[in-house]
Amino acid sequence: MAALDDLRSDVRSWLAENWDPDLTVRQWWSRIATAGWQFPTWPDGLGGRGLTAAEGRAVAAELVEVGALGPPFSLGQVMGAPVVIQQGSDEQRARLVPPLANGTESWCQFFSEPEAGSDLAGLRTNAERDGDEWVINGQKVWTSGALAASRGMLVARSNWDVPKHRGLSYFIIDVDQPGIEIRPLRQMNGQAHFNEVFFTDARVSNDNLIGDEGNGWAAAVATLAFERSGLSNRVPGLSVALPGEKGRMLDRPAGQVAAGPSDTGLGSRAFRSSTEIAGLAEERNILGDRLLRQELMKLKTMGMVSNWSAQRAREAAKAGQSPGSFANTAKLQGSHIGRAAQHLGPRTLGAGGMLAGDDAPHSGQVTEMALSVPSGSIAGGTDEIQRNIIGERGLGLPKDVAVDREMPFRDVPKSS
């Protein structure tokens, strides 16, 4: 405990000398990354100091205390950098991680495919070696933040003559190139957080192959593990680049950005809790409705259970253990809470719950919430995937029967 107190004191002193809300975001993130406080659990020289998860949370708490801008947040910071640190070469770590640490790059994730569904190992995007480069052809879908990304974490099939899990390779590919076409997928809430992406003779250097050729499944599994633990233990911060801004926020004042809301592209997070919806009921003088009170209590209970699951994941991480299926449980519970609020919010607001726009009740946030909820059950892994992980890894249930597990992937029938 004394060591944590000393650490907090060190961070507090550094912030007193260095936090300046008039610095640009670019200047601030460069300064704090160079000092090693940006991602304190990352290695020395890569934006961190090699601290433990508990020590990292202590550092984050000090940033929150003084109102300093937190670290950049994209899939590159949550998943990409940890995978490169764990499985990349020294040269790759030195080249790829610093731009993520100082926030000058954000990455996206090229995993899901239309035909593979929840079977990631069944992907068909092809990677063919051409000298010092690989040529990529195929399609990905549900790619969050692709329009704002500098690079993408790409899993592609480099060998079709071995079983599906052994024929994959993992690349970090530049997004801004002629062979990559990004098509936004417009959501009901009017936003386009997700995209479908087409690769037509796109190129990626062999220097950006993470691990060995054919070892992409191990890197993909590690990426998903970092995603689950990273999102459930998120450090307060802001996305590196908001959709459509691609880097322009880096030149805004850091204090202004720190004071503003974080835009995830998934819609408003307001009116998803029992307390907020109870406020709507009080406004309309309908808190005497017994059925409504019962539904509000159910929503409150779901929120408490979700918080306990997240706390169990944090405590496991604090003890140096894997969060296991706790993070998956919390993610799944978040989807359930969203759907309950999606039903209860508009019902409580009455006819006004059908209206959108600034002149609607509560500026249309209740309607936006209702229209945004379905995307939450897709982002970060679908509910079906979470249930599979909970059943197999948490409860020890047998995996689904897979007749193609040892079959050369070239011989696996293609879904219609």
Q: What's phi and psi for 408, nearest 5 deg?
A: -50, 135
For 127, which DSSP code? E
The question of whether 282 is a catalytic residue gets the answer no
State which amino acid sits at residue 342: Q
Per the rule left: phi > 0, alpha: psi between -120 and 50, beta: everything else, 21 is alpha
| CB proximity list for 204: less than 8 A, separation 6 or greater | 127, 133, 134, 136, 154, 171, 172, 173, 174
User: Would you say 112 and 143 are in contact if contact means Cβ atoms under 8 Å apart?
Assistant: yes
**What beta strand segments (E) does 165-262 contain?**
168-174, 180-185, 194-205, 238-239
Tell me which of 227, 276, 295, 368 is the catalytic residue. 227
Query: Could you tell me which of 76, 52, 82 has the C-alpha nearest to residue 222?
Result: 82
State which amino acid sits at residue 258: A
User: Would you say 228 and 328 are in contact if contact means Cβ atoms under 8 Å apart?
Assistant: yes
Query: Could you tell me which of 305, 149, 121, 100 has the C-alpha nearest to residue 224?
Result: 121
Helix (H/G/I), strand (E/B), else coil: 168: strand
Strands 151-157, 107-110: parallel, antiparallel or unpaired by DSSP?
Answer: parallel
Query: Could you tell me which of 177, 80, 175, 167 has the C-alpha nearest to residue 127?
Result: 167
Query: Could you tell me which of 176, 379, 360, 165 has the C-alpha nearest to residue 265?
Result: 379
Q: Where are the alpha helices (DSSP H) in 89-141?
A: 90-96, 98-101
Cα–chain center distance at 45 = 24
For 395, which DSSP code? S
Q: What's phi and psi for 134, nearest 5 deg?
A: -120, 140
Q: What are the catalytic residues?
A: 227
